[in-house]
Structure 1
Amino acid sequence: MRPTSLSRSRFFRTALFGAAALVAGLLVDTVPGRAAEPIRIGELNSYKSQPAFLDPYRKGMQLALDQVNAAGGVLGRPLELIARDDGGNPGDAVRAAEELVTREKVDLITGTFLSHVGLAVADYAKRRKVFFLAAEPLTDKLTWSDGNRYTFRLRPSTYMQVAMLLPAATAAKRKRWALVYPNYEYGQSAAETFKTLLKAAQPDVEIVAEQATPLGKIDAGAVTQAIADAKPDAVFNVLFGPDLARFVREANTRGALDGAFVVSLLSGEPEYLDPLKDETPAGWVVTGYPWYAIPTPEHKAFLDAYQAAYGDHPRLGSIVGYTTIKSIAAGIEKAGSTDTEKLVAAFSGLAVDGPFGPFTFRASDHQATLGAYVGTLGVKEGRGVMLDPVYVDGASVLPSDAETAKLRPAAD
């Protein structure tokens, strides 16, 4: 029987629909990158309150993202960064993390600068079972007493950086020490670690003054005078940023530290050293980042790429931001997935190549063995520099796995 006009119409519509579906399927399969969903990295940090460190940090992250994506991404997928400001406040940080996880559907979270903020986000990661790479917070609690399965840390901790300075502190053979530090988790942690390690190495030392100052609100005149009145022959400083600049200027004006031997955390980092210019306190032994004096091929490649991208020299924040993204890319590649449990397994013992050379994330406490430079401050051509800087491998100043187990009770 011959088909009716209605049946012919149905036939042609069915054929046309099938052809259209086939073409659509072919287009999805053949358009480059169409099927590759990005890997979404949620990042939160104190951008407004700590711009000296975090503006370079953001640039370092972007440089690494550009390099990774130009090379084809990770697992054939591009990396996408979704950033939020945490306000420098633990409560705001947790709310930002929750927004990133629930609304933005990120695959993992990273970042934080201030130690008490990092601890709050680490606790959130533990409760929500979300992978968290803490980029900058330094408190020892993050990987030891308050450590958890889902949190890893990149930067050398307060313990590590204090231990890097300890040989110089003990070699000076000074007995009367004064301490000055910002009165929040990072400063408190650094001060306690320094006292513990120094007294173990030199039992006869005395702590003759302790100045714990409000973060960002130091009364530099009163603090330096109190230290001068205590007549110390050595000082351990943990101040950074504008607080450090005010402290140094008042100390210079009053001669408060004349004759005192000074060891100082972070003061060789360009973020905090550059603003001092010719006011830089010569002779301080510091941890930092002498970008102008690192001849290794790894660092030269990073330095050239950074200067080409931004027309400026890098800061420590640049190194941290860059290495954070490189670590995440390496971890996802090793895991073969963005699944949280697979990322945890992959980061335990993960080897990463960075601008300071290779390092690993320890399985025992999730701390990276990334190191720092130690040197003595001086002034050259009107600006502060680190003289004779030496790189200290983070692995050389960390406790053994057996000792770590005592510091990290039931972390997992």
Structure 2
Amino acid sequence: MNATSFRSIRLLAAGFALAAGAASAQDTLKIGEINSYKALPQNLVPYRQGWLLAQDEINAAGGLLGRKMETIFRDDNANPGDAVRMAEELLTREKVDVLSGVTLSHVGVALTDFAKQKKVFFLATGPLSDKVVWDNGNRYTYRLRSGTYALAASVVPEAAKLKKKRWALIYPNYEYGQAAVAAFKENLKKVQPDVEFVTEQSPPLGKIDAGAIAQAIADAKPDAIFNVLFGSDLTKFAREGKNRGLFTGRDVVSLLTGEPEYLDPLKDDAPDGWIVTGYPYANIDTPEHKAFLAAYQKKYNDYPRLNSVVGYASAKALAAGIQKAGSTETEKLVAAFRGLEFLSPFGPVVFRPQDNQSTLGIFVGRTALKDGKGVMPAGTYVDGSKLQPSEDLIRKLRNAS
């Protein structure tokens, strides 16, 4: 073989390799997923598992637009600046077709702004701050999980039934906690005008002095307590309050506490009889959830957490939107998601055209102790469409952004 023939063969082989690479890229539809995996493993290991279960089902059914769905996961280090850098990298280097993700509110607000600046579609999956869809909302950003206002509004009917006049409030001192308490006070006053809020305790996130807080609440002599603490702050407060008898004879209404992510670490210190939002996964008697639960347990040999549902539903929502759009072009996705309906483990969900918020709902029930651990044995599902403020207020907030 002469040198010319050898060079020709090498060039031909290189051409085949490039063609194969291009074909492979065309056969894959890439989703860029950004989240706080290192900072919130108790939330985001189940989230990723739920997402990958949905992706398996989507690909087994033929993929998206004839292409295999692939997700590239990136960690935002719980930092808005890092999240924006990850988004840039995913778009420019990885050439992802769509951006999604986020659990922490301040990171969600940052990526909402990024989507607006770059004019790219972004599905915010789990940030609770309502700024993502209202104050800072934009046409490029949609959100799956119900936000802070809806969470607080979901427990107000049960709180009002208690007929308690003197309430203590405890919440982490940042946007989520402040907004949740404001929404709870606003909505409870509408149905119980004579209610009094006798003390507000707002420790910095992750830095609670549980003993001092419990004592301050006891000194105020409330009839009931509204709690917005979560994670390690909730664990410390629940244990200290139990040891001091703070909850004896007092009703407690608490956001997020019925989620297995937060109940499990408490073990036998878990609260008994609190009114909570959460996820009674063992007793949701609908075909959609039964199918999800069976598939999740089969794949992971574990029970799902609420974030498993959020991850699973997010991937399914993206699949439905992409199929409806027939494309991953931003403008076509924006149009497709307006009023998009898809099926989640909690039943049908719609993305509201007025604010890009999905109607994924919230379970409200009471905690219990079973076999040495906290559980949420049952709950009433409240559709997200019933937990929003007035259309006029939403319009004003979005127009101001």
What TM-score range do you get, normalising by the shorter chain?
Answer: over 0.9
Matched, 1:180 2:131: no
Aligned to 2:268: 278
Aligned to 2:236: 246
Superposed displacement of residue 317, structure 1: 0.8
- Asked whether the equivalents of residues 135 and 400 of structure 2 are also in contact (C-alpha less than 8 Å), the reply is no
Matched, 1:46 2:61: no
Matches within 5 A, 1:257-406: 257-399=247-389, 401-406=391-396
Aligned to 1:6: none
Letter in 1 for 2:285: P
Q: Quote the RMSD (CA, aligned, Å).
A: 2.3
Aligned to 2:155: 165
Superposed displacement of residue 171, structure 1: 1.3
Letter in 2 for 1:238: V
- Asked whether the equivalents of residues 52 and 241 of structure 1 are also in contact (C-alpha less than 8 Å), the reply is no
Aligned to 1:214: 204
Provide, for residues 270-304 of structure 1, a one-character-per-residue CA deviation record: whole Å limited to 9, x for no partner. 10112222222112100100111112111111111
C-alpha distance in 1 between matches for 2:226 and 2:183: 11
- Asked whether the equivalents of residues 289 and 373 of structure 1 are also in contact (C-alpha less than 8 Å), the reply is yes
Kindly name which structure, 1 or 2, has the bigger radius of gyration based on alpha carbons. Answer: 1
Letter in 2 for 1:224: A
Provide, for residues 116-153 of structure 1, a one-character-per-residue CA deviation record: whole Å limited to 9, x for no partner. 11111101111111111111111122111111111111
Letter in 1 for 2:142: F
The TM-score normalised by the length of structure 2 is 0.92
**Higher mean displacement: 282-291 or 201-210:** 201-210
Aligned to 1:114: 104
Matches within 5 A, 1:128-147: 128-147=118-137
Superposed displacement of residue 192, structure 1: 1.3
* SS state at 2:205 partner: coil
Letter in 2 for 1:166: V
Identity of aligned residues (%): 61
C-alpha distance in 2 between matches for 1:322 and 1:136: 12
Letter in 2 for 1:60: G
Aligned to 2:222: 232
Aligned to 1:256: 246
C-alpha distance in 1 between matches for 2:104 and 2:260: 18
C-alpha distance in 1 between matches for 2:239 and 2:180: 23
Letter in 1 for 2:62: G
C-alpha distance in 2 between matches for 1:35 and 1:249: 52
C-alpha distance in 1 between matches for 2:390 and 2:187: 16
- Asked whether the equivalents of residues 179 and 235 of structure 1 are also in contact (C-alpha less than 8 Å), the reply is yes
Assess, with a 3 A threshold, how the Cα gap between structure 1 residues 155 and 35 changes in structure 2: closer, same or farther.
Answer: closer
Aligned to 2:85: 95
Aligned to 1:152: 142
* SS state at 1:123 partner: helix
Superposed displacement of residue 266, structure 1: 0.6
Provide, for residues 5-59 of structure 1, a one-character-per-residue CA deviation record: whole Å limited to 9, x for no partner. xxxxxxxx9xx99xx99xx7xxx79x9x757431111111111111111110010
C-alpha distance in 2 between matches for 1:253 and 1:97: 46
* SS state at 2:45 partner: helix
Aligned to 2:398: 408
C-alpha distance in 2 between matches for 1:139 and 1:295: 30
C-alpha distance in 2 between matches for 1:99 and 1:232: 51
C-alpha distance in 1 between matches for 2:50 and 2:86: 22
Superposed displacement of residue 404, structure 1: 2.5
Assess, with a 3 A threshold, how the Cα gap between structure 1 residues 217 and 145 changes in structure 2: closer, same or farther.
Answer: same
The TM-score normalised by the length of structure 1 is 0.90
Aligned to 1:3: none
Provide, for residues 186-229 of structure 1, a one-character-per-residue CA deviation record: whole Å limited to 9, x for no partner. 11211111121122222222221111122222221121111111
Letter in 1 for 2:50: G
C-alpha distance in 1 between matches for 2:124 and 2:268: 34
Superposed displacement of residue 105, structure 1: 1.7
Superposed displacement of residue 399, structure 1: 3.5
Superposed displacement of residue 337, structure 1: 0.3
Letter in 1 for 2:69: L
Provide, for residues 99-128 of structure 1, a one-character-per-residue CA deviation record: whole Å limited to 9, x for no partner. 212222212211111111111110111111
Aligned to 1:63: 53
Superposed displacement of residue 402, structure 1: 4.4
Letter in 2 for 1:142: V
C-alpha distance in 2 between matches for 1:196 and 1:373: 21
Matched, 1:86 2:86: no
Aligned to 1:125: 115
* SS state at 2:123 partner: strand
C-alpha distance in 1 between matches for 2:230 and 2:192: 27
- Asked whether the equivalents of residues 154 and 367 of structure 1 are also in contact (C-alpha less than 8 Å), the reply is yes
- Asked whether the equivalents of residues 284 and 376 of structure 1 are also in contact (C-alpha less than 8 Å), the reply is yes
Query: Structure 1 regions of 5+ residues with no counterpart?
Result: 1-12
